[in-house]
């Protein structure tokens, strides 16, 4: 129970990462903030080591995100902090794209947990959804990079700590609605096919 609570708290802290950086830099130097964030990252990795095979993006996202934070640690600068969301997006893109080229895709792996016998049309749909997410990660990473290099800290925090999450949730919600529509359509077609036979 305690392990789950700690894992949730660590995840929440990293979810609020842009706000933690924005507020943290008002009170501590980039060096000490980077040290604290690296401890959080490594702690989450240790707590989730048993499920790394179920979340293939976690290790590369942590490694690349940690690399960005280490940049701030050694340069005593905020730039590494601002590049963290870019690195996480890049890791997600790499994992999803690799799974598209070398199936099963990440989404298919999760889908098979609910239904091990996915039909061919479902696999085709899942591959399309994987490409959509790859496209999203490219766009999101590009905007994140722009805010890191050319925007104020407030704009960077607003986009990476709020707007990006709304976009992720919106895309997931739209995909869920589309999936329900397709599933209902397939059920209807099967019923019509049975009745015609």
Residue 86 lies in a domain: yes
Q: Report d(CA 194, CA 62) in Å as an integer.
A: 50
Range of the domain at 58: 2-192
Write out pLDDT tens, residues 43-93.
888 888 877 777 888 889 989 999 999 999 999 889 999 999 999 999 999
Question: Which region among 73-82, 92-101, 182-191 has the lowest average model confidence (pLDDT)?
Answer: 182-191
CB burial of residue 154 (10 Å; 0-12, 13-18, 19+): exposed
Residue 32 lies in a domain: yes
What is the distance, to the nearest Å, from the Cα of residue 177 to the centroid of all Cα atoms in its chain?
20
Q: Report d(CA 180, CA 64) in Å as an integer.
A: 35
Residue 158 lies in a domain: yes
Write out pLDDT tens, residues 9-27.
777 777 889 999 999 999 9
Number of domains in the chain: 1
Residue 197 lies in a domain: no
117: its two tokens: 């016998």
Contact between residue 72 and residue 12 where contact means Cβ atoms under 8 Å apart: no
């Amino acid at each position: 129970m305690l392990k789950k609570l700690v894992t949730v708290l660590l995840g929440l802290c990293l979810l609020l990462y842009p706000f933690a950086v924005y507020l943290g830099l008002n009170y501590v130097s980039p060096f000490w903030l980077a040290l604290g964030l690296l401890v959080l990252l490594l702690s989450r990795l240790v707590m989730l080591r048993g499920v790394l095979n179920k979340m293939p993006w976690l290790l590369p996202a942590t490694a690349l995100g940690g690399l960005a934070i280490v940049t701030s640690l050694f340069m005593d600068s905020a730039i590494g902090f601002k590049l963290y969301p870019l690195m996480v997006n890049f890791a997600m893109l790499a994992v999803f794209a690799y799974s598209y080229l070398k199936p099963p895709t990440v989404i298919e792996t999760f889908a098979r947990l609910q239904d091990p016998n996915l039909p061919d049309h479902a696999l085709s749909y899942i591959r399309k959804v994987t490409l959509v997410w790859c496209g999203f990660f490219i766009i999101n990473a590009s905007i994140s990079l722009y805010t890191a290099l050319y925007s104020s800290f407030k704009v960077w925090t607003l986009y990476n700590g709020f707007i990006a999450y709304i976009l992720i949730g919106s895309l997931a919600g739209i995909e869920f609605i589309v999936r329900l529509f397709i599933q209902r359509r397939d059920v209807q077609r099967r019923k019509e096919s049975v009745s015609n036979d």
